[in-house]
Amino acid sequence: MLDKLFSPASVAVIGASQTPGKVGHDVLRNLLQGGFAGRIFPVNPRADQILGLPAVPSVESIPEPVDLAIVAVPAAGVLAVVEACGQKGIRLVVILSAGFREAGAEGIHLERDVLEVARRHGIRIVGPNCLGVMDTNARLNATFAAAMPPQGSIGFFSQSGALCLAVLDWAAGTGVGLSHFVSLGNKADVSDAEMLEAMEGHDETRVILGYLEGVDDGRRLMETASLVSRRKPIVLLKSGSTAAGARAASSHTGSLAGSAQAFAVACRQSGIVQVRTLREFLNLALGFALQKVPAGGNVAVITNSGGPGILAADACDSLGLQLPTLTQETVATLRGLLPPMASLYNPMDVLGDAQAERYSQVLDVVVRDPSIHAIMVLLTPTAMLDVPATARVIARVAKRSSVTVLACFMGEARVAEGRRILMEGGVPSYETPEEAAEVLRSMWGHRLWLERPEDRPATVKRDLGVAREVVDKVQASGHQNLSPVEVTRLLAAYGIRLPRSAVARTADESVTLAKEFGYPIVLKVASSEISHKSDLGGVRVDLRSAEEVRSAFQDITAAISRLRPEARLLGVQVQEMITEAREVIVGFQRDPDFGPLLMFGLGGIYVEVLRDVTFRVAPLSRLDIREMLREVHAFPLLQGIRGQPPADLPALETALAAITQLALDFPEIEEGEINPLMVCRNGQGVTAVDARFILRGSL
């Protein structure tokens, strides 16, 4: 359906104008100048002819069927135009006109009305408030923005018009060109996910680039991207990621998770390459558009000067790329070619007197080395070097080889011509070795994604009936926080164990319970109004006798009545002590765009200080969970170091899967968290010693 956006047989320009500088004039002029081969119908009730084409007075009077309508009438007239398009059978409408959502309350209503009419007729809308669309292959320039850039292999869509202009100019200036271009404007209807779908279907497009300000349907974006990214790299730049996490949070998960994390992990989980800066965006666009995705992370650096070579090596190293030594055969061949002073190891220094010829010889040998997946060619413009000639030989070798080749010609004035030749020859050129290394890292990351096995969501056994009963009861009671008893039942239904525990109202009762459970024992304040118990002196662990229990009971009640006199106390919880365990945190909260956002990390009372946590969007596969565990710095602690036995990782994985399932099963639970989840030694399982679940407040 959206396909016609790029290759319409006929286009109507509604609101076409004779006055240069008006949107309705410029878009028609661009269509004509671009060389579009299809039929073009200017619609204007007050003109017979515009830019040499016969005009028609209304949409109804267009003599033929129309694939694509470009609307450039003032906002107030758009509703009637869309209705007319519907009558005429036009199913694709690009609204360039401004004056909608971006213009305040009235505009919001107008946009909604336009959308309603469109829906009724089955019309899809791009925009409003956008620059238009281009397809360089079909020679379609339906924008009022700019001349068409050269044909290329980048498909680009953007919510920001200004960024559109900048990217169009960049594509023209670098010569790299574009295949498709869509300015989404207010994104009232056609979404990011649909752009991915539409661009995937076109062979000319090798990489899809998108700039987003907001996400319209996060789940759909993830689902579509997961499929599309297996065929084409997707690079997204999203602005506005810093305002996240601003809300006051009562849980650890809440204070550490935000919409920026949700977007970042959603990208990772669906194979989207997320970039944070415009520079990175364009650098990666070049890499993916011009070069092949490297088969691995082994890089050979070829340089004519020492310093930049070391900078490149440092940059690669810090990003996890390897600079392996070349095979003996390669080294032997190079020894025969290069002067004795040259470094044959990686980085390879071809020396300051190198000419194009020496670069060419070395490249020819290195591209054949089986241990190398990518080559970074550095060049410093030494006095005698013929830079353009060197660029030409690099492009020649790169074209014939299956190895990824990137260049970094350092400087400006003396290398500008060389850079242009490289780009034309299909070799991306970057200003600094660090940028080239970043591009390689991201391209390799895409390779890893392509190689990553697909895995189904992990399933867990649970007693939905019991869980439903607990949640319904809490809801009926009007409470939002689950009590310790409710938490115990809920977690038990998902197979998560809690320590033996009971509430004591008096010191004597606490001693009796301690004796029953066995020493050592833990006492903690029991109140649903206190969420961080340790902060108030409300937790005492490792109590080993009746005396210790008795005085801990008194200390806790005294501390709470001093620090939180208003808090309603149930008493003091006497709890079995879990020993020799490692503390982790497992929690979730809900992201408005992506749904349950799971958090895992090093647990305990210092979670916010250490911030050793990682996130994923549900559902999770076993592979996701395993990767998640390995992502936190503290993972070796779970594996067992310094003579410690390994922790029960299988049980931990299952607990994470269970909490994920719980989050998916009960949308009415707004957030949940176990901190700490005690992970005992392998075979001994996990125990939730502190957990909280909060239902969504009534709206």
Any contact of residue 675 with Mg ion (CB under 5 A)? Answer: yes
Q: Which partner, Mg ion, ligand ADP, none, binds residue 533 by CB below 5 to 8 Å per kind?
A: ligand ADP
Instruction: Name residues whose C-beta falls within 8 Å of residue 343's C-beta, 6 or more positions apart in sequence.
Output: 349
Q: Which stretch binds Mg ion (CB under 5 A): 207-215, 304-312, 495-503, 685-693?
A: 685-693
Instruction: Name residues whose C-beta falls within 8 Å of residue 407's C-beta, 6 or more positions apart in sequence.
Output: 376, 377, 378, 379, 391, 394, 419, 422, 427, 428, 429, 430, 436
Any contact of residue 524 with ligand ADP (CB under 6 A)? Answer: yes
Q: Which of 47, 53, 108, 541 binds ligand ADP (CB under 6 A)?
A: 541
Q: Which stretch binds ligand ADP (CB under 6 A): 507-515, 528-536, 559-567, 660-668?
A: 528-536
Q: Which of 133, 569, 578, 688 binds ligand ADP (CB under 6 A)?
A: 578
Any contact of residue 513 with ligand ADP (CB under 6 A)? Answer: no
Phi-psi group of 134: left, alpha or beta (phi > 0 → left; psi -120 to 50 → alpha; rest → beta): beta
Q: Which partner, Mg ion, ligand ADP, none, binds residue 575 by CB below 5 to 8 Å per kind?
A: ligand ADP
Any contact of residue 689 with ligand ADP (CB under 6 A)? Answer: yes
Instruction: Name residues whose C-beta falls within 8 Å of residue 643's C-beta, 6 or more positions apart in sequence.
Output: none
Please say whether the beta carbons of 69 and 92 come within 8 A.
yes
Tokens of 531: 């969420």
Any contact of residue 552 with ligand ADP (CB under 6 A)? Answer: no
Q: Which of 575, 589, 614, 660 binds ligand ADP (CB under 6 A)?
A: 575
Please say whether the beta carbons of 304 and 349 come within 8 A.
yes
Tokens of 469: 């009963």
- Spatial distance between the Cα atoms of 431 and 414, rounded to a whole number of angstroms: 13
Closer CB to Mg ion, residue 207 or residue 677? Answer: 677
Any contact of residue 583 with ligand ADP (CB under 6 A)? Answer: yes
Q: Which stretch binds ligand ADP (CB under 6 A): 94-102, 131-139, 213-221, 530-538?
A: 530-538
Encoded amino acid at 499, one letter: P
Any contact of residue 690 with ligand ADP (CB under 6 A)? Answer: yes
Instruction: Name residues whose C-beta falls within 8 Å of residue 96's C-beta, 6 or more positions apart in sequence.
Output: 23, 27, 70, 71, 72, 127, 128, 129, 130, 131, 132, 144
Any contact of residue 499 with ligand ADP (CB under 6 A)? Answer: yes
Q: Which of 671, 677, 693, 676 is nearest to 253 (CA)?
A: 671
Closer CB to ligand ADP, residue 237 or residue 577? Answer: 577
Any contact of residue 690 with Mg ion (CB under 5 A)? Answer: yes
Please say whether the beta carbons of 599 and 247 come within 8 A.
no
Nearest-CB residue for Mg ion: 690
- Spatial distance between the Cα atoms of 44 and 25, rounded to a whole number of angstroms: 11
Any contact of residue 141 with Mg ion (CB under 5 A)? Answer: no
DSSP 480: S
Closer CB to Mg ion, residue 216 or residue 690? Answer: 690
Q: Which of 507, 605, 623, 634 binds ligand ADP (CB under 6 A)?
A: 605
Closer CB to ligand ADP, residue 524 or residue 616? Answer: 524
Q: Which partner, Mg ion, ligand ADP, none, binds residue 577 by CB below 5 to 8 Å per kind?
A: ligand ADP
Closer CB to ligand ADP, residue 205 or residue 675? Answer: 675
Encoded amino acid at 576, one letter: E
Closer CB to ligand ADP, residue 311 or residue 686? Answer: 686
- No. of helices (H) and no. of strands (E), the chain: 23, 29
Tokens of 147: 């001349």
Number of residues that bind ligand ADP (CB under 6 A): 18
Q: Which stretch binds ligand ADP (CB under 6 A): 123-131, 308-316, 575-583, 627-635?
A: 575-583
Tokens of 540: 């005492």
Binding site for Mg ion (CB under 5 A): 675, 690
- List contacts with ligand ADP (CB under 6 A): 499, 522, 524, 532-534, 539, 541, 575, 577-578, 583, 604-605, 675-676, 689-690
